[in-house]
Amino acid sequence: MMLKILLPAEVMLTQEVKKIVAEAENGSFCLMPNHIDFVTTLSPGIFTYEPLSGGQELLAMDVGTLVKKGANVLVSTRNAVRAPDLGKLKQVVMEQYDVLDEREKMVRSASARLEASLIRRFVELK
């Protein structure tokens, strides 16, 4: 199967694989090359695939959509992180969430300042 993982700003991965394991809203599932065509919404979790060369690759994936049509599997997601093992994957995900959390705090603070400034100017108009 040809696996293609799309992020909003880039194509993260295009690779020939022999097996995919992912998590949907109703539980985890496995896709093999001869499975029927399939569409599902992915839940945040671990996305695993086996390249043709062997081994197992792990991704931490945000919500997304998976479409299997023939030998092609297309995954579209907001965010995905790759790591060699579960321990490292957890560390990478925690670091990214810390960065996102800090950015969110900065955005909320800037938004609150803009809102306060807007209200102050409306009061000054009266």
CB 48 within 8 A of CB 35: no
100 or 125: which leads in pLDDT: 125
Give the pLDDT of residue 44.
Answer: 83
pLDDT of 52 reads 92
Residues 38, 43, 26, 47: what is their CA dihedral angle, to the nearest 10 degrees? 70
At residue 100, the pLDDT reads 65
pLDDT at 79: 84
Compute the distance between CA of residue 126 and CA of residue 115 in angstroms, rounded to an integer.
Answer: 17
Q: What is the pLDDT of residue 85?
A: 73
Between 41 and 94, name the one with better pLDDT: 41
> What is the per-residue pLDDT for 108?
79
User: Which one-letter DSSP state was computed for residue 43?
Assistant: P
60-109 pLDDT per residue, tens: 888 899 999 999 999 999 888 887 677 776 677 666 666 666 777 788 78
Q: What is the pLDDT of residue 76?
A: 96
Q: Check whether 43 has a pLDDT greater than 80.
A: yes
Q: What is the DSSP letter of 90?
A: H
In the numeric block, the tokens 């957890």 are attached to 90
User: Which long-range contacts link 87-94 to residues 24+ away (Cβ below 8 Å)?
Assistant: 89/46, 89/58, 89/59, 89/60, 92/60, 93/60
Q: What is the pLDDT of residue 29?
A: 94
CB 76 within 8 A of CB 63: no
Say if pTM beats, i.e. exceeds, 0.95: no
Angle at 67 between CA 62 and CA 68, to 5 degrees: 130
